[in-house]
Structure 1
């Protein structure tokens, strides 16, 4: 199996196990991660996000956690995959099924240098937030509020870990 494809497979296998340390090893030191909620730079932030999300799932929803991935492909310095996650959103306790398309760029050492996940934010917000997501999930206002809250949660999490 080509090295970049193996990195993607290793990443999702670790994610399925909620092994954030193994996920972090897949990233370059100066990695960048973007999705509908986070915009992160550097392995510390990216790995911190995965640790925060994995720990929240382990603490509040391991019983319902499920991750499946498919359509893994890599050529040259790029790769892609599709993944589906079923989990309990820790802030509300509501069940979510998120369907995500990922794009990757790799550094010369075969680690993920750039990772971009795309998903339907309105669909996610309806599941995760209920009525507020249904009514406002399509608006930039709710998206901005979720992004700010997630960034604050990550900063607090990283500060607790550093203490």
Structure 2
């Protein structure tokens, strides 16, 4: 059953269905990766909704998986720079009662930043400074997205 949850999650990612991805998480689920850091509860779902809404040319390949892990590859254009990215990601997942309760994505931040940011990523992608800067920008964008979603929900 858990392997099916993983398959459905990454199939939703490939078709850019952030709502289905968000629905795969337990209400108090946890997510962590090198860019966004730690997200809990609704933040994780909001992150996937934000990423799938802004992705124009995203392609996600689930290379291999089981009930506890996934190896997935995302190919897309990084919107901030217009640069092409191929991100090779390893995920560890804990699934209970058909929902993701813990999800940790790991990838080479330096490799990602070289592709996404060009020279700046090549020269500084290995530094904690750039990681904090990128993470802060990503988190600020997510906070803005969550506030916008909240305003929309209040207006309806």
How many equivalent pairs are there?
A: 150
Q: In the TM superposition, what are the counterparts of 1:110-149 in structure 2 within 5 Å? A: 110-149=98-137
Q: Secondary structure at the match of 1:86?
A: strand
Distance 1:55 1:73 in 2: 27
1:154 corresponds to 2:142: yes
Q: In the TM superposition, what are the counterparts of 1:35-74 in structure 2 within 5 Å? A: 35-38=33-36, 39-42=38-41, 44-57=42-55, 61-62=56-57, 65-74=58-67
Residue in structure 1 matching 2:30, options 29, 32, 40? 32
Contiguous gaps of at least 5 residues in structure 2: 152-156
Q: Secondary structure at the match of 2:62?
A: strand
C-alpha deviation, 1:70, in angstroms: 2.3
Q: Please identify runs of 4+ aligned residues in structure 1 that moved more than 4 A.
A: none
The C-alpha deviation readout for 1:6-41, integer Å capped at 9, x for no partner, is 000000000000001111111100000000011101
C-alpha deviation, 1:148, in angstroms: 0.7
C-alpha deviation, 1:106, in angstroms: 1.5
The C-alpha deviation readout for 1:33-59, integer Å capped at 9, x for no partner, is 0000111011x10110001111110xx
Distance 2:47 2:114 in 1: 22
TM-score of the superposed pair, with normalisation by structure 2: 0.94
Distance 1:17 1:110 in 2: 21
Q: For residue 98 of structure 1, what is the aligned residue in structure 2?
A: 87
Over the residues paired in the alignment, what is the CA RMSD in angstroms? 0.8
1:86 corresponds to 2:75: yes
